[in-house]
Amino acid sequence: MAYFIKFKTNSDSRGHLTVIEKEIPFDIKRVYYIYGVAPGSIRGQHRHHRTVHALVCLKGSCDLYINDGKKKERITLSGPDQGLILPPEDWHSMYNFSEDAILMVLASEYYDPDEYIAEEYL
């Protein structure tokens, strides 16, 4: 099941600097981000054969529904100083994006359409 990691953040009068090096538990092969999501839209709605993801909401917030076949969970991502590690077996959907949301995704594998499994666990 997915779990949170906290990133080291240095803050002073100039602002904040958050570091993710050595925090992600896999080699990063792909980086993308989701933003400008239309109200009511749902993203994701799949799981993977082998890809692990780290999701970081750089700005704003979004909700996730996660189903690993044994447990179902709903969580909110809302800060750039935390990441959600999402194992391949976790069927997931992202929804309820705030208007200003920017969701960055770090992936352990390159894009491969055969890697996606659309069917949710019962």
Which residues are known to be catalytic? 46
Q: How many helices and strands (H and E) does the chain possess?
A: 0, 12
Q: How far apart, in Å, are the Cα atoms of 104 and each of 30, 56, 78, 120?
A: 11, 5, 12, 23
97 close to 41: Cβ distance less than 8 angstroms: yes
